Amino acid sequence: MLAARIERFPIAGSFTISRGAKTEAVVVVAEVSDGTHRGRGECVPYPRYNETPEAALKALRELGDAVAGGLDRQALQAALPAGAARNALDCALIDLEARRAGVRAWDLLGRPTPTPCITAYTISLGSPAAMAEASAKAAHRPLLKIKLGSDSDGECIAAVRKAAPNCELIVDANEGWTPSGLERNLAACAEAGVTLVEQPLPAGWDDMLGRIRRPVKVCADESVHDRRSLEGLRGRYDAVNIKLDKTGGLTEALAMADAAKALGFDIMVGSMVASSLAMAPAMLLAPMARVVDLDGPLLLARDRDDGLRYDGGLVHPPEPSLWG
């Protein structure tokens, strides 16, 4: 049996990127049950990809009869396109399979056991002074992810570095830079000791990245979705950000990570702003990742009762009560 619903989690303050701000995380939860065991998965439909919670909910509910008839993860890959709805159901089916078998999800899938790892902590886009203040408060964390995408990006990243002198910094421009400012902004990031820049230009403008000297490693986010999009990024990006809501679930995400490694890309595992239920499956990618960015629950005013454990800059693998 398949059940699905929309849930809302208030964000502590607001979360601001180059495309705007939001004050709550709206997620869709899928639950599958065989009458004895129950599996859960969570997704975040993203307007950037023309997704809405209502449409994802409808897509899931339309698969109710197929799930009741035995739809498995392999068939699911063809039943829904890559995206948020498929992610929620894929992760729910993995959770159910693991519970039926009495094993952890990573053992079920033949993957390394995840261990506590450093996760990035996000600093929202704002004025240089506001971002410096937020960074100073988070300066005890080993890894900060800085949202950029304004006319004052050079000032912002310099202010952040001054406020958090000992942190590793990565930057996410969320497609917010222009070709005319690309090299200037990359140079400012290099000067601040930034180690990675995510998606500086809009998706589709990737060719310019192959024509310049990149003083900082560049990671594709909006330009990469699943395995099919990897080949076209060679020579333009150094890393790819794998998010389950883009790949359409953990099944494709793991296959994509294997393929990306084979092509020489560094791996970043990321997520949308959501509860621990959305982060938990992504922890299976962490052993392969150069950068882990699973801080979504830390940005919420409240998380699930059985949420992931965050300890300073570390995120711990999920307990069975949450997922897997």
Extract the tokens encoding 248. 């359409």
Long-range interactions of 67-74: CB distance < 8 A, separation 24+: 67/1, 67/2, 67/32, 68/1, 68/2, 73/97, 73/249, 73/251
Considering the candidates 22, 243, 246, 261, report the single residue annotated as catalytic. Answer: 243
Amino acid occupying residue 196: L
How far is 208 from 286, CA to CA, in rounded Å?
30
* DSSP conformational letter for 1: -
Considering the candidates 22, 58, 137, 147, report the single residue annotated as catalytic. Answer: 147
Sheet holding 20-33, edge to edge: 2-17, 20-33, 38-43
**β-pairing verdict for 117-118 and 314-315:** antiparallel
Count CB neighbours of 20 within 10 A. 11
147 in catalytic set: yes
Residue of 212, 253, 257 lying closest to 235 (CA atoms) = 212
Long-range interactions of 56-59: CB distance < 8 A, separation 24+: 56/28, 56/83, 56/84, 56/85, 56/88, 57/4, 57/5, 57/6, 57/28, 57/85, 59/85
217 in catalytic set: no
**Exposure on the CB side of residue 80, measured as CA atoms within 13 A:** 31
Angle at 224 between CA 221 and CA 228, to 5 degrees: 165
DSSP 200-263: -S-TT-GGGGGSS--SSEEEESTT--SGGGTGGGBTTBSEEEEEHHHHTSHHHHHHHHHHHHHT
Tell me which residues are annotated as active site: 147, 243
